[in-house]
Amino acid sequence: MPGLKVENADLEHIVQTSDEWISTRTGISSRRIAVAETMLDLALAASRAALGMPAAPDDSVSIESSGEAFVDIDPASIDLLVLTTISPDVIVPCNAAALKKLLGLDNAIAFDMNAACTGFVYGATVADAMMAASHLKGGSVPARNVIRRALVVSAERLTHVTDWQDRNTCVLFGDGAGAAVFEWKDDAPGIISSFLKNDDDDTNALTCKQSYTSAFPFDESGVIYDAEAKAAHDAAHPDASDVSYDYINALGLSCDPAAARIDALFDIENKSAQGGPDQVIYMNGQKVFKFAAKAMEAAVRKVVEDGGITIDQVKLIVPHQANLRILEFAAKRLGVTLDSFQVSIAETGNCSSACVPMALTDALVSGRLEPGDYAVLVAFGGGLTSGAILLQV
Ligand code: UT7
C-alpha cells in the first residue's frame, strides 16, 4: 500500500465530517494515499509480491506481501498480464505494457481492462477463459496464444480522481493494489465457475469523466483559424516549427466541443464552472448501496450453484470493500454470518478494483484461506457491473 496513512480524524480538517460518521456508516478507519506513487508503482509492488519476488530496494510502496509464502515464479513463465484499473497513469500505451516491461515478463501479452470495481473478477474471468480456450483440444479450435500462467493485477490511485470538497465521496476512497497468479492445470479445478453481469446504470449512479484538455482547432464548419494572426505569428517566429500556444489560445479554441453532451449523457455536473476539478468520481451512494447487496447475493448464489457445491462449503467470501454495511446486508441475504466474509475495509477504504485481490491477499496471509479451500470472490461497481468467481485455492 502507499506510504501515507490518513485517519478519519485527519479528514475533519478538510470537509464537514467526523470519525464517528465515517466509521459507523462505512466501517472505514483509515486509508492509504498515493502522493508521489503512481498507479504503476502500486501495481508493480503488488505484482512482485504475487510472483514471490522481494520488494525492490527503493520501493516506497509497502505491500502486505503474501509473496514469501509462495514459491518464486519465473517471470518468463507468465504468458498473460491483465491490469485492471479505473485510474490509469496514461491512456496509451496500455499501462499493462509498461508493467510487463518493469517486471521482465518477456513472454507475456498484456492489456488493461476497466470493469469499474468489479475489475479483478472480470480480469480473472477473462484470463481463465483465455487459458481454457488455449488448452481446448480438437481440430475445430483455431490456433491461439497458449496461456498457462496469467498474472491479474488491479491497481488504483482513486484519490486523484476524488473531489476533496465532496464529503459524500472523499471519505470513502483509498489507493492500493493487489495481484494474483492463475495457473492452468489439467488435473486441478482452480476457477470452478464464474458469473458476470451488467445492469444498466439508468440513473448514472457512478461516473467519472475523461477530461480532454488539448485545444481542438475544428468546429462543425471546418478548421478554426485566423489568416492574419497566423501570418503575423509566422513572421514573428520565422524559425519555429510549431505555432505558439498564444496563437492557438487567441483563436478561442474549444478543448472538447462535445463536453456538454457528455456531461448531459452521464448527468455530470460541470465542476470547472464552479472552480473545481472536472475529472472526479460522482456517486449516488444510496443507489449503489441498494444495487450492491442484491447483486452480491445473486452472484454468489449463482457461482456456488453452478459449481455444484453449497454455500456452507465455502470457506470464505472475499468481497469488494465498499461499505461494511453492504457486507452485513449481503451476509444476511445469503443466510451466513459476517465471519464468512473477509473484511479488510477498515484500513484501506474503497480501492475500487484493487479491493478484491487486496482482501484475498489478507485472507491468504492470515491463514483464513488454505490450499484446497473453496473461496468466492465477489464484486460490484459502476456500469453497473457485478460478478463472482468460485475457486478452489
Ligand atoms: O465501489 C462501489 C461504489 N460505492 C459504493 O458501493 C458505496 C455505496 N454507498 C454507500 O456506501 C453509502 O450510501 C454512503 C457511505 C456513500 C453514504 O451512507 P448513507 O448512510 O447512505 O448516507 P446518506 O447518503 O443517506 O447521507 C446521510 C446523511 C446526509 O445528511 P442529511 O441529509 O441526513 O442531513 C449526508 O449529507 O449523512 C450526511 N453525510 C455525511 N456526514 C458526515 C454524507 N457524507 C457525510 C460525511 N460526514 N462524510
285 lines ligand 1 (CB under 6 A): yes
Q: Is it true that the peptide bond before 196 is cis, omega within 30 degrees of 0?
A: no
Instruction: Report the distance separating Cα 50 and Cα 38, nearest Å.
Output: 19
206 lines ligand 1 (CB under 6 A): yes
Query: How many angstroms is it from 168 CA to the middle of ligand 1?
Result: 5
> 80: how many CB neighbours lie within 10 A of its CB?
25
Choose the catalytic residue: 208, 323, 350, 355: 350
Query: How many angstroms is it from 39 CA to the middle of ligand 1?
Result: 27
385 lines ligand 1 (CB under 6 A): no
At 61 the pLDDT is 65
381 lines ligand 1 (CB under 6 A): yes
Query: How many angstroms is it from 327 CA to the middle of ligand 1?
Result: 16
At 211 the pLDDT is 83
> 96: how many CB neighbours lie within 10 A of its CB?
26
What is the enclosing helix (H) or strand (E) of 235? helix 227-236
Choose the catalytic residue: 114, 160, 320, 351: 320
Per-residue pLDDT of the chain (393 residues; tens, 9 = 90+): 888 999 999 999 999 999 999 999 999 999 999 999 999 999 999 999 999 998 776 666 665 544 444 578 999 999 999 999 999 999 999 999 999 999 999 999 999 999 999 999 999 999 999 999 988 765 565 678 889 999 999 999 999 999 999 999 999 999 999 999 999 988 888 899 999 999 999 999 999 998 888 889 999 999 999 999 999 999 999 998 998 888 888 888 888 899 999 999 999 988 887 888 889 999 999 999 999 999 999 999 999 999 999 999 999 999 999 999 999 999 999 999 999 999 999 999 999 999 999 999 999 999 999 999 999 999 999 999 999 999 999
Angle at 322 between CA 173 and CA 330, to 5 degrees: 175
